[in-house]
Amino acid sequence: MNRFLNVISAINDESRVLILYYLLRHKELCVCNLQELLNMGQSRLSRHLKILKDAGFLYVRRKGTWAYYGINDQFSLLHSDILKNINALDMKNLVLEKNLYDNKEC
């Protein structure tokens, strides 16, 4: 029951849903890219990323001083259903790209 509540509470925030949406779209992004996309400070973004990672949604890959986040590929049916629903959201009103390049170092 605690794991279920942890997963559900992780997506109970618009910013975290947007993080998952962007990562589904781009596969992997550097923290600096996510900061730019979300117009969010590093400390606030780090808190959101930690919540999503602790809930099993994300992995982190470090390359030197850079941290890249992506969608974890080993998750439950609940995670899968949530990610499918997030991916299906109509986000046409968002500026999604902002000239981001996959794996671009900041």
Q: What is the pLDDT of residue 47?
A: 96
Q: How far apart are CA 37 and CA 104, in angstroms?
A: 14
Please name the residues in contact with 9: beta carbons below 8 A apart, sequence gap of 6 or more. Answer: 55
Question: CATH assignment of 2-87?
Answer: 1.10.10.10
CB neighbourhood size of 8 (10 A): 12
pLDDT higher than threshold 70 for residue 93: no
**Token output for 27:** 């596969």
- At 58, is the pLDDT very low, low, confident or very high (cuts 50, 70, 90)? very high
Please tell me the distance from the alpha carbon of residue 33 to that of residue 100, in angstroms, as a whole number: 7
C-beta separation of 34 from 18 below 8 A = no
**The pTM is what?**
0.84
